[in-house]
Structure 1
């Protein structure tokens, strides 16, 4: 029976079975792990190897040139580079969570390499103290590292991942050590109360817990401890004591959960957790697995080993192969355990009988009829835990066979497991070399796995898995395109463009602008311009066109989009990069860009706008700007009062007048500017002569009126003559000015100089407004129109005189209006009634 041979390879630890299948026979050659420093990434990640310069190497046995080599877990070379030994001896190396290789050297420099052996800038320094006192040891976790130097100082870098441009270095609290600790371990920040890393330092018979803020002593009497390792969930600590005891306790050292006395007091070379159920100890030729119950399990090896802890077991790397030591899953145990009568075992056996056309198949099914759903589920689960594709298929066939007789079991479960196993088998293949278990795969997630395939340049497989699982393919295609650009320097632009477009069109949401930006970064500007033409989003297209120097095309695209923000972005960019005349030439033929430029410059950049209008022959626009500037000068309080600022202001207006005169369409503006300048000069002279700052920027009428009020009649006449003020306007202005200063004699004299062209109405209006009835009467009587006379008398309350004047007009409507005006006056009302009756105006009541 197949189950016998499978279970025969299991080892019993307490009441739990463990198995150690070989995953790969390694493809590398002449690798001796004992002579190298080795770093293996979890979750089936890559292996970094570099010759250990502290080990003696036989002369001529290998090249004197040290190389950093990176392999897949199956032993295939991914990349390599020469190790230049830049910072002294290599103290430690490890992989971060996002598969960045961290190398810490003696002088306190931390170098970071990607999976392709490319150095990631910048290098990180632990500081002057580590440069002056060399780094002696380091402990890694997640994306961080803790180092100790010769001065017994501890330094921590909590995040060395890809996203950190300049990682922060922090110094932990002073330990007061006088000798180097026997060993160190780290409790990751996510498992500590403070949220900061805690470093466990074994000193003498106790342990120091070192943080950034302080140090505390724990575990008195436990030591000396020669090895310590914290479990993956941060809750448990496994420690090897000086007298050969293996202790497992909580990380708060509150109690000892279990202890085991090893045969040797010699500290193991490696101490790691195997999942959460057991601890592995490795000496030169023996691997010891210790659990809380039962006798330990021993494995003997001739080759040196590297133990790689995983969340559900431990990988074992030797010179020739890779194995995976894990606890046998419950579903697998129920099927393949020797003598098992579990429903899943009977179902698996029933399939075997069915294949051999034995009637015992039906007998087995009848025995487990009520437990068939559980048996099917166990077969599906067991298939997921297997690395052998043939055994996976057999278990899934058993599940399908049982499902045919079990209506309650959902078929989707078998389909989902089949899909998952296809993905796992694809990445486990020796060519790819990522030996994920199903538990690791679920913890890692498919999207992270695809990201790792992409980083390893396994784009085709990543694309197929993305498509198969219904995930977004854009990330894969983008990375492939950027990698293709970097690695295809010999391919002509046109040819490479066709290759890229053929793949980029697979995703509708692909950002052609991002690919074009990468092309520009590596110096292929022409190809970048060709790629960006295919970007449908103007918001991405335009900035990139500016970045690669295609300003004219960028302006065209921005104006076509109608997005004013984009147009302004291009305008400001060109404004800074190009001569002014080039900018003017580019926007002249594009109305939207031109209008936006003018709108902005009109508010903030007058000089620049004048240059634009001059270059395009729009002299009248320049004139308007000059005229506007003259008013800006006027806002300065020193522009009047006989200030020299008035001179530049007048010059601006005169320049505007000259420019207006250049065009036939702006004769009015030219004349207006000329007179404005002339008026300002006269007003300036008046302010100088009168020493009163009240003339500048007033109108011609106000200037005349002010001159008369001040008694400067000669100046008023000069303004009248200079600006050809009409006689009627002159009379109105002078009359009101004289009334303002209440010069009644001058007013009367003025009324008699000659017959006023306006009549005597201005005199009447001015006097009434000044509330001078007696003066008003003088001029009301001289009014020629009886209607005006009647209304004027009514306004000053002279009802009788108003009635007499109204009777002369014989206007019934006027009589009614005047009556309403004087309705509060009873006598006046009776006068108008009598007058109405006398004149017998019909319809007037």
Structure 2
């Protein structure tokens, strides 16, 4: 493979000898042009084709040639008689580059009946439509792309007769005259178009691409009788162009605006696709329809019969080219390629810049500058004279030379034109110097891909429309990785796409290379691109069955977010867990945990997370909320019995919240009590949890007693209340024996017992029982609880009984004040001789004027200072 861009600093152009004459070269160049109206056309030879066999006859094959100088696909036409010579009778699908060098081949077994048509999509996928409506797709290496597509039962029952392709779609017509459309092979959806109502097959068919229609849907033009049917994808059918037909051929221009058609009486008509008018018409010398009708750019139309190619334009006489061998016309955006058995040519309009320089007798500034370079090389003073003549137009002359160089296919002529531009630039300060450098860079790339080994003869206009990134993508798909990498580096584009594709391709074709050796080869290239995804290459290695190599590759992936999922995909769960915990990303850790949870037995998961604190803690946090049983198994496996006990205890409380699981009528040894007993036993296993064990034991005992009380009283008010509340409720219900039993069982202190019973009796306003209770013995808590209970019940009379028994005059004074007995409160307060207490009580009773007077008198008598 030849590449002209290896050395960025040294020009690769061959040096021109001073003896060469630019003027004579210009005459020779212009002599090959043809004049169509006032426009010149040229037809340079791109390649002498290098077919693998000299007996290849294009007329005996079905062909598909990709636009933008793409590959050529050939399948022998089984409808024609072919002399095989030494060839095999087995038909093959063969793919060549534009120079005739074979890229790939595969047997064509004709599984779906006769081949109706084939074409390349914009992504260079070869689409083959067979008679039964099956669509087969191949890449440039003849690999069949699965799954195969189908146009449906209608086409299977009624064979496909004709199909018309465009960028990424196809329209087919079957024997019942039904139209079927796939508008995008990237998202293949078969649409049956409107009912045509035809009784005979259309004479011709053409397609207006969706991007050029108002509706955004494909429109099909059918030549029927003396008119044209316009069929829309949504089912609409309308008659247009009445009286124009019958039309034998139709073709839409590359911009979707114009239609060229050939009528039954030999007229070539060009009109807008809305059929509003006829732009021009030309009467051909024959009424026989041409074999091919294509556009040559946007300025002319090509018609081909057997041995003659006719080029017709809106002005002037047509141009005729005679061929003694069959040719295929390939329309391009700026011309048309002509493929014959032996050559690939490019018919295009001569660019304005080229015409201004090389037109015979031209006195344009660019022509004088080009001629000045010739005189300069021959050391003639005429060079300076030419420069003086074009001094004011020198920038335009330099620009024309640069532009003309871009349109040339001959490297030596490119060099001469760029030298002329550089020569003029030396005397022109206004011209931007970067223009010549950019053009030189573009031409280096174009010359590299035009070499016969690569076989992509792009013109500069096609290159700009295609874009460098798409060109690199096509080189990559053709496995021209080295050239694609060098061009990417040369143009400053991202090399990651190239290296990634190379690595994946290397994995596919290197099954015999041992994993360690292949790893070194891959790493040597992958390290060239910073930030490249090792995980993506590892994923491809896994898909090709090299799991060990995938594991070795993924170790070099710096991003955990890419590394961890792939490790899980190749079964390296333990490594994935380690990498995720090292990253500290909780989302990644949970991803690994859930994956292992589904794939591995529980004990394996427990063993893996036990030594990883972060993963273990996250697992516990999740399981504590959603998976109690699983968490209990984990704690049991790690000997954390107290944690299991806590979970059991928590479950018992959760059951209490669910009436269906823990209703008030459950048995004495119900689920809750069993859970608490289990928790108590587990707590008892460790010395550190004696308190928890005792608490669980008493909790279970309390639940049993509360259950018995609910059964005996038939009132569901005891379970889950506290010991104090249980005693208080028993007393309120008059069940003093049960209250005493609870007191005894749980060793409730006498002070607590008195407080509970006093307030319970006050709650039911049993004042006699309260008085009797106060006289049983001297209360261990004193009489203050009795006072508090009576006051809370708003029984002042009962409260006075016990206030008098209070030993502390301060408490007695405050109690009297609370029930509004100011005189008694004052007398009790006077015994304390506490001025602050007197003042506080006075403020408490300040709304009572009599009480305030009593406190003032008492203060004066005791000589306590007042507070103003």
TM-score (norm 1): 0.98
Structure 1 counterpart SS, 2:504: helix
The aligned residue for residue 536 of structure 2 is: 514
Q: Secondary structure at the match of 1:104?
A: strand
For 1:800 and 1:280, locate their aligned partners in 2 and report how far apart those are by CA, in whole Å: 129
Structure 1 residue 841: Cα displacement: 4.3
Q: Name the structure, 1 or 2, with higher relative contact order (CA <8 Å, separation 6+).
A: 2
After superposition, residues 351-750 of structure 1 pair within 5 angstroms as: 351-637=373-659, 639-644=662-667, 647-750=670-773
SS at match of 2:137: strand
Structure 1 residue 837: deviation in Å? Answer: 3.4
Query: What CA distance in whole angstroms lies between the structure 2 residues aligned with 1:580 and 1:302?
Result: 80
Q: Distance in 2 between matches of 1:92 and 1:803?
A: 119
CA contact (8 A) 2:782 2:806 kept: yes
Q: Give per-residue Cα distances to partners, 1:466-511, cap 9 Å, x unaligned.
A: 1111111111111111111111111111111111111111111201
How far apart, in 2, do the equivalents of 1:771 and 1:216 lie? 99
CA distance in 2, matches of 1:841, 1:97: 109
Deviation at 1:293, TM superposition (A): 1.0
1:370, distance to aligned residue in structure 2 (A): 1.2
The answer (yes or no) to whether the contact 1:226–1:239 under 8 Å persists in 2 is yes
Q: Which aligned runs of 4 or more in structure 1 are off by greater than 4 angstroms? A: 841-845
Offset of 1:364 from its aligned partner?
0.9
The number of residues matched between the two structures is 841
Q: Secondary structure at the match of 2:670?
A: helix
The yes-or-no answer on 1:232 pairing with 2:254 is yes
- Equivalent in the alignment of 1:340: 362
8 Å CA contact 2:668, 2:707 repeated in 1: no
Aligned equivalent of 2:42? 19
Q: What RMSD, in angstroms, separates the aligned Cα atoms of the two structures?
A: 1.2
Structure 1 counterpart of 2:81, from 15, 39, 56: 56
Runs of 5+ in structure 1 lacking a partner?
none
User: Is the 2:859–2:866 Cα contact (8 Å) retained in structure 1?
Assistant: no
Do 2:194 and 2:232's aligned partners in 1 also have CA atoms closer than 8 Å?
yes
* Superimposed CA distance per residue, residues 203-234 of structure 1 (whole angstroms, 9 cap, x where no aligned partner): 11111111132211111221111111000011
Distance in 2, Cα, partners of 1:153 & 1:640: 72
Structure 1 residue 186 and structure 2 residue 186: aligned?
Answer: no
How far did 1:839 drift?
3.2
Structure 2 residue 235 is matched with structure 1 residue 210: no
Q: Distance in 1 between matches of 2:798 and 2:866?
A: 37
The offset of 1:60, in angstroms, is 5.0
What is the Cα deviation at residue 842 of structure 1?
6.2
Instruction: Report the secondary structure of 2:457's partner residue.
Output: coil
Contact 2:247–2:262 (Cα < 8 Å) also in 1: yes
1:176 Cα deviation after fit: 0.8
Closer, same or farther: CA 828–186 of 1 in aligned 2, 3 Å: same
The 5 A counterparts of 1:309-328 are: 309-328=331-350
Q: Distance in 2 between matches of 1:71 and 1:646?
A: 86
Cα deviation code 1:42-97 (max 9, x no counterpart): 10100000001111123655311110000000111111111111100000000001
**Residue 102 of structure 1: how far off its partner (Å):** 0.5
1:42 corresponds to which residue?
67
Relative to structure 2, which stretch is displaced further, 636-645 or 599-608?
636-645
Question: SS in structure 1 opposite 2:402?
Answer: helix
* Cα distance per residue 1:723-750 (max 9 Å; x no partner): 1000110011001000100001111111
How far is 1:820 from its partner?
2.2
Q: Residues 236-275 of structure 1 correspond to what in structure 2 (within 5 A)?
A: 236-275=258-297
SS of equivalent residue, structure 1 residue 405: coil
**Which residue is 2:102 aligned to?**
77
Residue 810 of structure 1 deviates from its aligned partner by 2.8
User: What is aligned with 2:15?
Assistant: none
Match of 2:172 in 1: 147
Q: Which residue of 1 aligns with 2:127?
A: 102
* C-alpha contact (below 8 Å) 1:640/1:693 kept by paired residues: no
> What is the CA deviation profile of residues 9-34 of structure 1, one whole-angstrom value per residue up to 9, with x for unaligned ones?
11111111100010001111232101
- The secondary structure found in structure 2 opposite 1:199 is strand
- Asked if residue 8 in structure 1 is aligned to residue 31 in structure 2, the reply is yes
Per the alignment, residue 5 of structure 2 pairs with none
Match of 1:804 in 2: 827
Q: Is 2:811 the partner of 1:788? A: yes
Structure 2 gaps, min length 5: 1-23
Report the Cα offset of residue 372 of structure 1.
0.9
Matched, 1:280 2:305: no
Mapped contact 1:641–1:691 kept (Cα < 8 A): no
Alpha carbons 1:641, 1:688 under 8 Å: kept: no
Q: 3-state SS of the aligned residue for 1:69?
A: strand
1:812 deviation in Å?
2.9
* SS of residue paired to 2:62: strand
Matching residue of 1:767: 790
Is the CA contact (8 Å cut-off) linking 1:271 and 1:282 kept in structure 2? yes
Alpha-carbon separation, structure 2, partners of 1:671 and 1:469? 80
Cα-to-partner distance string for 1:556-586 (whole Å, 9 max, x where unaligned): 1111111111100110010011100011011
Asked whether the 8 Å contact 1:812–1:844 carries over to 2, the reply is no
- The 2-side partners of 1:395 and 1:455 are apart by 34
Task: Indicate if the aligned counterparts of 1:836 and 1:844 stay in contact, CA closer than 8 A.
Answer: no
1:135 match: 160
Once residues 812 and 391 of structure 1 are traced to their aligned partners in structure 2, the CA distance between those partners, rounded to angstroms, is: 121
* Alpha-carbon distance, 1:644 to partner: 4.2
1:196 partner SS: coil
Aligned counterpart, 2:149: 124
Distance 1:568 1:170 in 2: 45
Deviation at 1:807, TM superposition (A): 2.3
Aligned position for 2:6: none
Distance (whole Å) between structure 2 residues aligned to residue 59 and residue 498 of structure 1: 48
Distance in 2, Cα, partners of 1:641 & 1:656: 22
Distance in 2, Cα, partners of 1:266 & 1:844: 130
Pairwise CA distance, 1:160: 1.3
SS in structure 2 opposite 1:637? coil
Give the secondary structure class of the aligned counterpart of 1:450: helix
8 Å contact kept, 2:668–2:704 = no
Query: For residues 405 and 644 of structure 1, what CA distance do their matches in structure 2 show?
Result: 110
Cα deviations by residue, 1:749-795 (Å, 9 ceiling, x for unpaired): 11111111111111011001111000000011111112111111111
Task: Please give the alpha-carbon distance, in whole angstroms, between the structure 2 residues aligned to 1:53 and 1:377.
Answer: 53
Distance in 2 (CA, whole Å) between partners of 1:194 and 1:837 is 106
How does 1:283-294 map onto structure 2 within 5 Å? 283-294=305-316
Q: Check the 8 A contact 1:37/1:52 in 2, yes or no.
A: yes
The answer to whether the 8 A contact 1:202-1:224 is kept is: yes
